Amino acid sequence: MKLFLTFGLLLACGATLSSAQWNTVTGYATLNGGTTGGQGGETVYVSNEAQLVAAVTGNDPRIVKITSMITLSDVVRPGSNKTILGASPGAGVTGSGFYIRRVQNVIVRGLQISYSIAPDDGVSIDEATNVWIDHNEFFADREHGKDYYDGQLDVKHAADWITVSWNKFHDSYKTSLVGHSDNNAGEDTGKLHITYNNNWFTDVGSRLPSLRFGTGHIYNNLYERVDISGINSRMGAQVLVERNIFIDVVTPLTTDLDSDLEGFAVERENDWGDSEPNITQEGSFTNPPYSYEMEALNRVAAVVRAGAGNTISFP
């Protein structure tokens, strides 16, 4: 698989990331047998909605490469064992998004995903396992009301073993919800294991993420200009928050917002900027069940700004 990366700024800021590191799944998506997507399957190039829908249908392994910006009339529902890639800078979908439901082993990388009009999310993951969302740019605008667009990336209904890495999320109100309801404990408890690493959240409202019931490892992310709240652990969720940078963020981390039951949090070596975290319950999640490498805190902002988003393509 041919891989194009944008490395100039990374080298300028002294980063040490290799193409192998950028091209390797990390975090919770490495567990439960791992996440390989369409590896070993045929490669199909698509340039319109009908071709995309046909290419991702079924559960046979397949690598689907999007060559243009596709305007969607409805959500696209990938089957299991699919890798969906951007074949050129600026390739992606707009107007709706991907609904990854009741499947397993799906990868979405190198796309622009924009303007997902409610009730559709940019990416929605429901009752699915082993999903890797990497190096995408999610955006809309904040010129409409907060309910005009829906979530950029939502994970719900007992989805599990998810990694969200190196994405840029910007110009949204509702960014990333994990666990859709306070009343869904029976389905979600013990599920919703998710890693967020090296993402860039900028000019957004909240849900970075908002996590109910699940377990979240949140490290090496950059948060800028967040006007409501950042990480929200609620309904007994456990989050481990490590080496993140917060710049002009209202309430960067909280455990007692918006739900009847509080969440739990452990924080290590974060730069909170001019704000302070609000941790009402110290968590017990301190040791993720996988190996991982972190950037030094003083390098996180430069590395994430240079590398996160639609900075990778697969011709």
- pLDDT tens digits, 254-312: 999 999 999 999 999 999 999 999 999 999 999 999 999 999 999 999 999 999 999 99
CA distance linking residue 281 with residue 129, whole number of Å: 29
Q: Are strands 238-242 and 264-268 parallel, antiparallel or unpaired?
A: parallel
Residue positions annotated with a catalytic role: 207
CA distance linking residue 196 with residue 308, whole number of Å: 12
- Residue 28 makes CB contacts below 8 A (sequence gap 6+) with 160, 161, 162, 163, 193, 194, 195, 217, 288, 290
What's the average model confidence in pLDDT over 237-253?
A: 97
Whose structure tokens read 């996590």?
211
Q: Would you state the pLDDT for residue 146?
A: 87
User: Cα–Cα distances in Å, from 50 out to 32, 82, 123, 216?
Assistant: 33, 17, 18, 36
Q: Is the pLDDT of residue 2 over 70?
A: no
Total-model pTM: 0.94
Whose structure tokens read 């007994």?
236
Neighbours of 108 (CB within 10 A): 30
Positive or negative, the Cα torsion across 127, 153, 303, 218?
Answer: negative
Structure tokens at 115: 């303007």
Confidence of residue 94 (pLDDT cuts 50, 70, 90): very high
Q: Is the pLDDT of residue 171 over 90?
A: yes
- Residue 276 makes CB contacts below 8 A (sequence gap 6+) with 252
User: Cα–Cα distances in Å, from 82 out to 63, 130, 295?
Assistant: 6, 11, 30
What's the average model confidence in pLDDT over 119-127?
A: 97
Q: Would you state the pLDDT for residue 23?
A: 76
Name the residue ranges covered by the structural domains of the chain. 4-313
Q: Would you state the pLDDT for residue 16?
A: 44
DSSP secondary structure letter of residue 72: P
- Compare 3 and 230 and report the one with higher pLDDT: 230
Q: Which long-range contacts (CB under 8 A, 24 or more apart) does 291-297 make?
A: 292/26, 292/27, 292/197, 292/217, 292/219, 293/21, 294/219, 294/220, 294/242, 294/243, 295/15, 295/198, 295/220, 295/243, 296/243, 297/243, 297/245, 297/269, 297/270, 297/271
Confidence of residue 9 (pLDDT cuts 50, 70, 90): very low
Q: Is the pLDDT of residue 14 over 80?
A: no
Q: Is the pLDDT of residue 55 over 50?
A: yes
pLDDT, mean over the chain: 93
Q: Is the pLDDT of residue 15 over 90?
A: no
Q: Would you state the pLDDT for residue 5?
A: 42
What's the average model confidence in pLDDT over 160-185?
A: 97
Q: Which of 146, 149, 143, 142 minimizes the C-alpha distance to 118?
A: 149
User: Is CATH 2.160.20.10 correct for 4-313?
Assistant: yes
